[in-house]
Structure formats: C-alpha cells, structure tokens
C-alpha cells in the first residue's frame, strides 16, 4: 500500500468518511550551512524522497480532529483553544498551522486530518517541518488560500510553519527546514539566503556523475541537549552585538582573525568563526556544484564538520565516528548535518562504493560499542510539498 493510500485509510477508519484529498511534504537534509539560518546566513538543503502525508477534510465548525500513524490516538480540540504552548505534544505541529495562518491574516476553519509520516522522527531530517508543511499545503487548498500555488505564497507558508513550530509547539527553529520542504525542487539543492529569504535552485543530480549521497541516521540519543540550541543562538547574538553588526552575516571572512580579536571571550570567537566560515563554505559549495567539482564539495563537507566539532561544539561521538569511518572507506567527504547532538550525518560517495561505505560505518559503530546501530540510506534531491490526491 502506498503512503497516500495509508493516509486515506487511516482517515476513513478514524473519521468514518472520505478525505477531500491527500497532501504531502518532504523532510530535508542540509548539504552544508549549519546554524547559519538564524544568523541571516546561507544554507543549502535538498528535499528528501521521504515525505509526510496528510489526508484532510475541512469542517463547517471550528473543531480540529487530528490522528497520526505515529501518534497515540485522536487529539480533538477547538481552534480557539490553540495558542502558545497549546496543545502540548505532537498535535501542536498540526494545530499550530491554522493558528499561525490566522495570525498572518489568513483565517481558516476546523478540519479533520490523518497523518502518516515517512520521514524518520527526530533524526535531524525534519519530520516536524514535513508535518507542518503537509498540513499547510492542504489548508491552502481546502480553504482556497492559493498560497501553495505561487512562489511568494510558498514563502509566506514557510513563515507560517516556522511560527507554528516556534510559538505553538514551542520548539526553536530557524527557518531552513520549512523553506526546504516548500521550495526545494527535484534534482536541485535550494540555496537559501536567510537574510531576505531569497532562493536559488542549484542543480544537484549526483546520479549523472556516478555519485550518491548516503545519509547515516546515527539514532544516537543524548540527554541534556535542550539548552544547547539556545546557548548557540545567544552566543551568536552576543558576538554580533560586540562586533556592532545586526547579524554575523555582515562579518567578512576576509581578515576574520583580526575581527574576532574584538570579541570578549575565546568561546565567542569560536562560535562566530564557525558561522562566518560556514557561510563562506556554502558559497564555495555552490560554485563547486556549478563546476561539477565534487572533490571540492567533499573537502568542504570535511571542513564544515571540523568547524562544527571544534568551534561550534555540536558534534557527538556517533557523528564523528560516522564521518571518520565513511571518509576512511572512500567517501569524497562527510559531515554531520542538522542541529547536532545526534541526528544524522551525510557522506558524498561514489555510487558503486555506497554499500562498502555503509558497511564500514556500521562496523565502526559496532566496534565502538554504540548502543544502537545506524540507519543508512541513499537519497536524491526530491520535490516540494504539494497535493498527491
């Protein structure tokens, strides 16, 4: 059974009628440009073939009934009871969307929705944005907002989904995930400029070069990481303040060492150095892709990983092991991707060597005695959120 059919079936079994349609939105993996989004910087995600599906039917009242194949039972509430921190739990990622739409001047009514998520949850591959964006695409259609039909409308929907996640689900997120899910195109990476939300489609078709992108979901579980994202954001903001700029985007990579001397601590120097050099690496990665220079891209992956491990300090043993073992087994480059402290790594590999790199990573995890084996899969750049049925 396809995922679309599964969502329809869950809808039917839960609500006893037919959905109006099924919409889906992809997870993403960021090729390079980590923790740059909230610094007004650049990032370069692709949409994954893995998607979250939402079968939905609009209602004539203001009730929300929400069920997920990955959730626990039906969550039922009134749209007027949705707000900051309410509801709690996973349903916030759904209920937050109509709330944020109304905040943005697009009031909608109630609906029933059945979700089936095929993006691994909590693996740093953005199942949360996939969920929000699938619901947002559905609401745009069934309430005839037309937002999903234009580029500018999709940009607006991405902002709505960020607001839903930040305010209702109360999870900090910088905006890359929602833009990738709504704007990335098949066969392309999305160069996203988080300063003005402008985008550029960069061809990304590894197949035709005999290459592949291997995702390694480390399945690592780390405690006490909740405050880490906030600490990194605060450090970046403080560094920007001390340098007298609005965001670290304004800091030039040329003469960086001298600039960083002005900062009040070594910690701030390292945090800022990651952000400024990472933004420069995104630009270099775009040039490498435009020139089909994949050795260069691999080198940039490795430099990015070192910067995240040493300067931004967001890597963990599992991620370092994935990167080191993939590279030793022949990958052109590898890096952790996403927010850090677990989640996934990516490796740029020759297609014919993907299986061998995967085995090497699995063996390294076993040798290190990590409690969970990694989940590895090859991905290509897929298309954005839209209607499936």
For ligand ADP, give the closer residue by CB, 268 or 346: 346
C-alpha span between 187 and 31 (Å, rounded): 13
128 binds Mg ion (CB under 5 A): yes
Residue 151 Cβ, how far from ligand ADP at the closest point, in Å? 24
Residue 209 Cβ, how far from ligand ADP at the closest point, in Å? 28
Strand 375-379 to 333-337 pairing: unpaired
124 touches which of ligand ADP, Mg ion, none (CB within 5 to 8 A by kind)? ligand ADP
115 touches which of ligand ADP, Mg ion, none (CB within 5 to 8 A by kind)? ligand ADP
What are the residue ranges of helices labelled H in 2-65? 3-15
199 binds Mg ion (CB under 5 A): no
157 touches which of ligand ADP, Mg ion, none (CB within 5 to 8 A by kind)? none
Residue 171 Cβ, how far from Mg ion at the closest point, in Å? 7
Burial classification of residue 85, based on how many CB atoms lie within 10 Å of its CB (0-12 exposed, 13-18 middle, 19 or more buried): exposed
φ/ψ of residue 82, rounded to 5: -85, 135
4 binds Mg ion (CB under 5 A): no
Specify whether 177 is catalytic. yes
Task: Report yes or no: 161 and 136 within 8 Å, Cβ to Cβ.
Answer: yes
Task: Report yes or no: 41 and 55 within 8 Å, Cβ to Cβ.
Answer: no
C-alpha span between 64 and 56 (Å, rounded): 11
Task: Report yes or no: 32 and 335 within 8 Å, Cβ to Cβ.
Answer: yes
The candidate with the shortest Cα–Cα distance to 82, out of 171, 170, 172, 168, is 168
From 122-130, 235-243, 302-310, 341-349, give the range in contact with Mg ion by CB under 5 A. Answer: 122-130
For Mg ion, give the closer residue by CB, 126 or 315: 126
Q: Which residue among 177, 193, 217, 311 is the active-site one? A: 177
Residue 165 Cβ, how far from Mg ion at the closest point, in Å? 7
Please state, in angstroms and as integers, the Cα–Cα distance from residue 43 to each residue in 31, 280, 320, following that order: 8, 10, 21
For ligand ADP, give the closer residue by CB, 30 or 327: 30
For Mg ion, give the closer residue by CB, 157 or 202: 157
Residue 102 Cβ, how far from ligand ADP at the closest point, in Å? 21
Name every residue whose Cβ is closer than 8 Å to that of residue 106 and which is 6 or more positions away in sequence.
143, 145, 147, 160
In 194-231, which ranges are E strands? 198-203, 211-217
Residue 306 Cβ, how far from Mg ion at the closest point, in Å? 25
For Mg ion, give the closer residue by CB, 212 or 382: 382
Where does this chain bind ligand ADP (CB under 6 A)? 52, 68, 70-71, 90, 93, 115, 117, 121-128, 131, 171
DSSP secondary structure, 290-314, as one string: HTT-HHHHHHHHHHHHHHHHHTS--
125 touches which of ligand ADP, Mg ion, none (CB within 5 to 8 A by kind)? ligand ADP
For ligand ADP, give the closer residue by CB, 228 or 238: 228
Active site positions, annotated: 177
Residues contributing to the site for Mg ion (CB under 5 A): 126, 128
């Amino acid at each position: 059974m396809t995922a679309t059919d599964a969502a329809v079936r869950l809808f039917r079994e839960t609500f006893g009628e037919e959905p109006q349609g099924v919409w889906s939105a992809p997870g993403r993996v960021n090729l390079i440009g980590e923790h740059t989004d909230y610094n007004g910087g650049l990032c370069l995600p692709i949409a994954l073939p893995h998607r979250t599906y939402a079968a939905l039917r609009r209602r004539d009242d203001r009730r929300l009934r929400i069920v997920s194949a990955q959730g626990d039972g039906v969550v039922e509430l009134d749209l007027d009871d949705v707000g900051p921190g309410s509801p709690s739990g996973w349903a916030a990622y759904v209920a937050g969307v109509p709330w944020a739409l109304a905040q943005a001047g697009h009031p909608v009514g109630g609906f029933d929705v059945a979700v089936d998520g095929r993006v691994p949850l909590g693996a740093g591959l953005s199942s949360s944005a996939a969920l929000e964006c699938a619901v947002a695409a559905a609401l745009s259609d069934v309430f005839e907002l037309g937002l999903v039909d234009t580029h500018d409308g999709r940009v607006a929907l991405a902002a709505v989904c960020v607001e839903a996640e930040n305010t209702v689900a109360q999870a900090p997120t910088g905006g890359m995930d929602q833009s990738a899910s709504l704007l990335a195109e098949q066969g392309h990476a999305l160069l996203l400029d988080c300063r003005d939300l402008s985008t550029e489609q960069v061809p990304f078709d590894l197949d035709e070069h005999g290459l592949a992108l291997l995702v390694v979901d480390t399945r690592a579980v780390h405690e006490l990481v909740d405050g880490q994202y906030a600490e990194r954001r605060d450090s970046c903001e403080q560094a920007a303040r001390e340098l007298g700029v609005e965001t670290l985007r304004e800091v030039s990579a040329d003469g960086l060492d001298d600039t960083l001397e002005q900062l009040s601590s070594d910690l701030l120097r390292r945090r800022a150095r990651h952000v400024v050099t990472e933004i420069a690496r995104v630009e270099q990665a775009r040039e490498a892709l435009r020139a089909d220079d994949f050795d260069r891209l691999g080198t940039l992956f490795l430099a990015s990983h070192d910067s995240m491990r040493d300067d931004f300090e967001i890597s963990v043993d599992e991620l370092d092991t994935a990167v080191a073992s993939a590279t030793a087994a022949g990958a052109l480059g590898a890096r952790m991707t996403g927010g850090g402290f677990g989640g996934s790594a990516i490796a740029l590999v020759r297609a014919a060597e993907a299986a061998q790199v995967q085995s090497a990573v699995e063996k390294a995890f076993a040798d290190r005695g990590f409690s969970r084996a990694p989940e590895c899969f090859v991905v290509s750049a897929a298309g954005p959120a839209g209607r499936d049925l």
